[in-house]
Chain A
Amino acid sequence: MQKNTKKKSSHKYKKNVVIQSYLVLLPQIVGFFVFSIYPIFWVVKYSFTDYNGFKGQFVGLSNYIDLFLHNRTYWSSVGNVLIITGMKMLLEIPLAFLLAMLLNWGRLRGKRAFSVLLFLPSVMSVSSAGMIFAYIFRTYNGMMNNLLISLGLLDAPVNWLAGKWTAMIVIVLMSTWMTFPVNMMYFCGAVAGVPQEVYESAKLDGCVGFKKIIYITLPLIAPTFKVILMLALTGTMKVLSDVKVLTDGGPKGQTDVVMLYLYRLFFESTNPRIGYASAGSVIMTIMIALITVVYLKASKKLDELC
């Protein structure tokens, strides 16, 4: 008898757990469907129409065909994304790794203070950072121009944001300035996780200095390294705000990136082409997904080779 009631109450308790769990998750699930799932289906559906904000009809694949065959702006903005991503990775990942190595040096005093100061840029908003960099790189008496002229590297002030490649440099520098601290901290955590004994036994085998980094540290943090690289890669593929605050795609769309180009079609043009922009979004999303998959496959292959 005693046992029976206990079983019954435990059953009731379990049922209560289920009810309470669902009640807690309910707002999240509703919000998730309304604000995450539904918009995806919406974009896919409207990518087959010529919807312009008021009316639209089914046009089949013509948006996709036009984007693939006739839209040079779209593909040059894809090219710009790749250029910015490449330049940024080359600058950011080594910088973050180098700083993490310096911060993890065993006899360093004030590691916390250095980390706090180096991390500061990532607390700023993209509009603040955009303003700081626009200010530093302004043409007349801008800090960077004056510095380069006084060093003898430039003869006359450069209008940085008015030329495609100079503007790209400013975009990459600002973007790196804002995001390297996060990667630096990721690397810091990974490097600190390498057991000290490994280094000591390597030292006995005569492995010191840079050899230590190449043969011990890098292989041991490889899993984290791969995740950091992937997050940085896919994050930069979606770049929009960084370019918007600095050049807004200018001069003449030469620094346009895909997301910014689509954003303008969606929100800022006098003749919005929602259906067309939706098709562009779908293509871009599939491309990012493909790059992620290829990256994961390639890094797995590399593992087998090593």
Chain B
Amino acid sequence: MKSGKLVRTLKSFVIYFLLVAFVIIILYPFFYSLICSFKASGEILAGKQFWPVKWRWENYVTAWNKANFYKYTMNTIFYATTVTVISILIDSCCGYVFARGEFPGKKLIFSVKTAMMFLALGSATMYPQLQILSRLHLHKTLWGLILMTFFGGSVAYIFMIRAFILSLPQELDDAATIDGCSFMGVFFRIILPLIRPVIATIGVLSFKGAWNDYLFPLILTMSNPDKRTLAVGLYIMENGTMSADWSIMLPGMIISAMPLIVIYMFLNKYFLESLASGAIKA
């Protein structure tokens, strides 16, 4: 019996040890870069000490003012917020219509959309998409980017909302209909308050997606530096004129990553639950 207890203790020790080791290994690259973002560029090149000799907040001031990170941040906030609001509004309505609506062509529209999810061409169709935007005279604005992100994006959010609404009892709708609610009236009065958890999930996911979006914003702002987002600005800086000055690039990286990390720390429930709840099975 005693040896059984020893084995149990040993086992928990090994498991905790492994988990802590993995957490350290996985987070160390970010943590290390965070510490180094406060060093002077000479210190970074010498690379001897772990902690900075002096914590140089002025690195951040330089990145914010001189390296345009102020403008990038504002663009990103505008872009990500607008995409999130539009996604929540339109996707939740569409999810409701697919869950509860009865209309000719419903199956067809739904299955075409599903098929497209698997036939995503990624970067292969970006050229014609950009051409469409330029014909609409939107290729130099953030609105073009917003439009593209929203319509070119995945239909996964609509699916999530549809699945959630399907799990609600139909009697709720029927009762409201008898009381004289119209079809969309039922959605706004009855369903919308009930699907708040899944709306929060979609909100954080689309905000994160837009905040980190990189390839299409890069193409769209190639000749238009004023509209660059953080992810694009960071890439351009690393491969552009200021390249190799780590004392500006690392603070820039932290500026672009930190807001999302803070949001993630507070709302981690919504980031994690959509994945762990077995959504993949559907």
Contacts and interface: CB of A to CB of B under 8 A. Distances in A.
A227 interface: yes
Nearest to A274: B127
B250 interface: yes
Given A31-B150, A116-B265, A289-B119, A141 B47 contact: yes
Contact of A224 (B22, B184, B281): B281
Given A17-B103, A142-B47, A228-B280, A117 B23 contact: yes
Contacts of B132: 34-35, 38-39
Contacts of B182: 16, 20
Interface in B143-199: 147-148, 150-152, 177, 182-184
Interface string A268-283: 0000001001100110
A207 interface: no
A262 B123 contact: yes
A36 B131 CA distance: 13
A24 B231 contact: no
A240 B97 contact: no
B63 interface: no
Interface residues of B, number: 89
Interface string A292-303: 100000000000
A127 B238 contact: yes
B45 A140 contact: yes
B15 interface: yes
B126 interface: yes
B33 interface: yes
Interface string A30-52: 01101110111011000000000
Contact of B212 (A16, A124, A277): A124
A293 to B, nearest CB: 10
Contacts of B127: 39, 43, 266-267, 274, 277-278
B102 A36 contact: no
A127 B271 contact: no
Contacts of A193: 278
Contact of A20 (B22, B113, B184, B230): B184
Contacts of A244: 215
A39 B203 CA distance: 28
B67 interface: no
A132 B253 contact: yes
Contacts of A31: 147, 150-151
A20 to B, nearest CB: 5
Closest 7 CB pairs of A and B: A141-B47, A31-B151, A281-B124, A125-B212, A185-B275, A39-B125, A21-B101
Given A18-B103, A240-B215, 15 more contacts: A17-B102, A18-B104, A24-B96, A31-B150, A102-B19, A102-B22, A107-B12, A120-B30, A132-B29, A134-B238, A140-B45, A146-B47, A190-B280, A267-B222, A278-B127
Interface of A: 13-14, 16-18, 20-22, 24-25, 27-29, 31-32, 34-36, 38-40, 42-43, 99, 102-103, 105, 107-108, 112, 114-121, 123-128, 130-136, 140-143, 146, 177, 182, 185-186, 188-190, 192-193, 223-224, 227-228, 231, 238, 240-241, 244-245, 248, 259, 262-263, 266-267, 274, 277-278, 281-282, 284-285, 289, 292
